[in-house]
Amino acid sequence: MTTTPTQRRPRPSQLLTEVSVHVGDPDEACEVGSRILHRHRVVVLGDATRFAMDLEAASLGPLTVGWLTYDTEVRLESSHDGHYEVNVSGGPMAASSGGQEVVAGPGTAMVYVPDRAAVFTGWAAPTPMLALRITRRALENELEQLLDRPLRQPLDLRLGMDVSKGRGAQWWALLRSLATDLADETALVRQPMVALPFARSIMTGLLMSAGHQYGEELSSPVATAGASVVRAARAYIEANADKPITVTDIARASGVGVRGLQQGFQRSLDTSPTQYLRQVRLRQVHRELIDADAGTATVGVVAARWGFLHQGRFAAQYRERYGVQPGETLRRRT
């Protein structure tokens, strides 16, 4: 057995897991690489006696980032089941997928879409390649939020992506930063408060930089919701504040996108739809506490009924709005 894997214990946040593997057998390399990155077949084109694969990878939420190196030239025949993948190599690689072909290198990334066969050849020299895998649902959810609507067709990223200039170069710098920081045990990106926003930035940056059928729409300015739409949204919130509605539900009921609705609320009311919903719910809690029997009702039960599950945060918000603790309002009837 030539594999020397190390699997570090996941952090308590469960956001980050890591693996480092050295493999000297092509079949074993295929099995390990398929498990960590994507299902594929390894065909050795160079000197088989020199064959070795090195892979270091870390998973951060919906992302897996890894450095992959082969010590002799190989061809990888792959499919990317349920995820998108971006590969950036320091040396020349030839790739084909979905009728597209590209010769990639330091200035050109290879971008693969889910469930589409792909072939790429490289590592005539053992240069590390940075591989990024993103779960399909996560990237498409991110795109839907940017578009403020559901996708009409699956996201179809073009095979070649310029990372030598402009947005592509900025995104590539962000990805390299992530790959570098993950090697540092003390890096901020390992902290839960930083990790998920950083992962979202990687996904958003890719969507804003790569070529695809939604690119023009993403670059277009969004129309701000007018006063009548904001009034309709406020009415919907008032009527449905006791339900687990989201800003997406509010926007859909108002017939506009999330971005347009948020801009409309900011312009008309100097607040956001989410903040407005919270204020409506606080008002309903206040009314119930005024009318409730302190001998049978509790603040926790009333607050939870209106979606306030964190008691400390709820109490602070209530005091800021009404100047007293919620328990004081409840006891005033006694």
Mean pLDDT of 48-54: 94
% of the chain with per-residue pLDDT over 70: 92
Residue 170: count of CB within 10 angstroms of its CB: 14
Q: Is the pLDDT of residue 65 over 50?
A: yes
Residue 61 has pLDDT above 90, yes or no: no
Residue type, 115: D
Read off the pLDDT of each residue in 32-43 and give the average, rounded to a whole number: 88
User: Cβ–Cβ contacts within 10 Å for residue 115, how many?
Assistant: 12
User: Of 162, 131, 139, which Cα lies nearest the Cα of 54?
Assistant: 131
- 192-209 and 166-181 helices, crossing angle to 10°: 150
For residue range 230-239, list pLDDT tens digits in order: 999 999 999 9
Question: Residue 103 has what pLDDT?
Answer: 93
pTM over 0.85, yes/no: no
Residue 193: its pLDDT value, please?
44
Q: What's the CA angle centered on 57, arms 54 and 63, to 5 degrees? A: 145
Domain boundaries, the chain: 6-216, 227-271, 275-331
Beta strands per DSSP E along the chain: 6-7, 16-23, 40-44, 53-60, 63-70, 74-78, 83-89, 93-97, 100-104, 108-112, 118-122, 129-135, 160-162
pLDDT given at position 48: 94
How would residue 333 be classed by pLDDT, with cut points 50, 70 and 90? low
pLDDT reading at 57 higher than 70: yes
Using the predicted structure, report yes or no on whether residue 190 has a pLDDT greater than 80.
no
Q: What is the mean pLDDT of residues 186-192?
A: 69
What's residue 25's pLDDT? 93
Regarding the domain delimited by 6-216, which CATH topology (the fold level of the hierarchy) does it fall under?
Jelly Rolls (2.60.120)
- On average, the pLDDT of the chain sits at 86
Pure H helices in 241-298? 247-254, 258-269, 273-291
Determine the pLDDT at residue 192. 64
From residue 197, alpha-carbon distances to 113, 149, 177, 321 in Å are 23, 21, 14, 30
Q: Which residue has the higher pLDDT, 180 or 89?
A: 89
Nearest to 177 by CA among 192, 194, 193: 194
At 265 the three-state DSSP class reads helix
pLDDT exceeds 80 at position 196: no
